[in-house]
Amino acid sequence: MAWFSNSETATLPAPSPVVDRCEEAQARVREVKAELDSLNSDMLAFKNKHSLTTDRFGRILGMVCPLLERPTIEAAWRALLHRRDKLMDAWPVALTQLADARRKEK
């Protein structure tokens, strides 16, 4: 008996749903942009609250606070900078994925 005449019915897996890569990439870009905007407003509020003066790289040049609070404020500022750096690393990746998805779509 040949292999095609088996009485067993061959079951094919269900087809996977159609995925719109361009829409997924666009959603990721929107998500990262929203996180960046939120972080930017958090950093600005933190700077205004603690009267921080920073250079363009985020290094603290001056602040108005009691001497004992300085280490905690510096640690919180470094944590904000670390979050910013992570998001800034994710931003070009998201944009590249969107550009690749649009290029493949056409």
pLDDT in tens, 33-59: 999 999 999 999 999 999 999 999 999
Q: What is the pLDDT of residue 8?
A: 58
In a domain, 73, yes or no: yes
pLDDT tens-digit series, residues 56-105: 999 999 999 898 999 999 999 999 999 999 999 999 999 999 999 999 88
Q: What is the pLDDT of residue 5?
A: 59
In a domain, 57, yes or no: yes
Number of domains the chain is built from: 1
In a domain, 15, yes or no: no
For the chain, what is the HEC assignment? Answer: CCHHHCCCCCCCCCCCCCCCHHHHHHHHHHHHHHHHHHHHHHHHHHHHHCCCEECCCCCEEECCCCHHHHHHHHHHHHHHHHHHHHHHHHHHHHHHHHHHHHHHHC
In a domain, 71, yes or no: yes
- Structural domain for 41, as ranges: 20-105
Confidence of residue 20 (pLDDT cuts 50, 70, 90): confident
Q: What is the pLDDT of residue 11?
A: 73
In a domain, 31, yes or no: yes
In a domain, 2, yes or no: no
Of residues 74, 50, 72, the one with CA closest to residue 63:
50
